[in-house]
């Protein structure tokens, strides 16, 4: 395999990581349906430690707009409530026995617009990350041209391949964002 192809191949995992990260970030953005991912990574300060909620409780969604949190130790409840209230103004946790229930209100038009703006920022962040990966590969290829390891013809083939990759991954970003936008709009 030629030197430039190796460089192009090394870019793909970086771009895949960007797509995966985008997917994880979008899980944390509320649509009209409750999911454990809305709260599972909220950091809880308890017993001189900072732990994600998913390490302190079982999280489920018994209904479309409800999240049920069942702490494994009732001593965590106060700290979990405090962290949930700080995390997002839309969350109103209620203690019910040994559980914490969050009932998500219907999305208002203003909140939907706010979420769509957040999606726009996430989309741009993903595109910038993809562009950075391409630029790093391009710089590496140009360095190999100067050292004689890559020919001018290979450099232009590499540029075309990198552009195809960036187009492919930008399309993936667009598809992921469009799907999430539809979930928020409906």
Are 84 and 117 part of one and the same domain? no
Are 86 and 134 part of one and the same domain? no
From 77, 103, 129, the end of a domain falls on: 103
State how far the Cα of 20 lies from the Cα of 183, in Å rounded to an integer.
19
pLDDT at 89: 56
Are 87 and 49 part of one and the same domain? yes
Are 156 and 96 part of one and the same domain? no
Are 18 and 47 part of one and the same domain? no
From 79, 103, 127, the end of a domain falls on: 103
> In the sheet where 66-71 sits, what is the strand order?
57-60, 66-71, 99-103, 93-96
Cα angle vertex 181, ends 175, 182, to 5°? 95
Share the mean pLDDT of the chain: 89
- Give 11-43 pLDDT, tens digit per residue: 999 999 999 999 988 887 877 778 888 888 888
- Give 96-119 pLDDT, tens digit per residue: 888 999 888 888 888 889 889 999
- Give 133-153 pLDDT, tens digit per residue: 999 999 999 998 999 888 889
Are 93 and 45 part of one and the same domain? yes
Indicate the pLDDT class of residue 1, thresholds 50, 70 and 90. Answer: low
Range of the domain at 80: 36-103
Per the structure, how many domains does the chain have? 2
CATH of the domain at 178: 1.10.132.20
Rg value, the chain, Cα: 22
């Amino acid at each position: 395999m030629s030197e430039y192809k190796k460089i192009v191949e090394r870019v793909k995992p970086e771009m895949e990581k960007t797509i995966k990260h985008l997917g994880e970030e979008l899980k944390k953005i509320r649509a009209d349906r409750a999911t454990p991912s809305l709260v599972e990574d909220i950091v809880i300060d308890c017993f001189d430690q900072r732990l994600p909620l998913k390490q302190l409780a079982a999280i489920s969604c018994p209904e479309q707009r409800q999240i049920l949190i069942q702490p494994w130790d009732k001593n965590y409840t106060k700290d979990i409530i405090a962290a949930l209230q700080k995390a997002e103004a839309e969350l109103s946790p209620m203690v019910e026995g040994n559980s914490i229930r969050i009932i998500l209100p219907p999305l208002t038009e203003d909140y939907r617009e706010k979420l769509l703006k957040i999606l726009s920022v996430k989309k741009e962040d993903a595109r910038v990350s993809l562009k950075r990966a391409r630029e790093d590969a391009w710089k590496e290829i140009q360095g190999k041209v100067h050292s004689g390891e890559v020919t001018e013809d290979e450099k232009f083939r590499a540029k075309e391949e990198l552009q195809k990759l960036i187009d492919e991954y930008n399309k993936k970003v667009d598809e992921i964002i469009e799907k999430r936008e539809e979930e928020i709009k409906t």
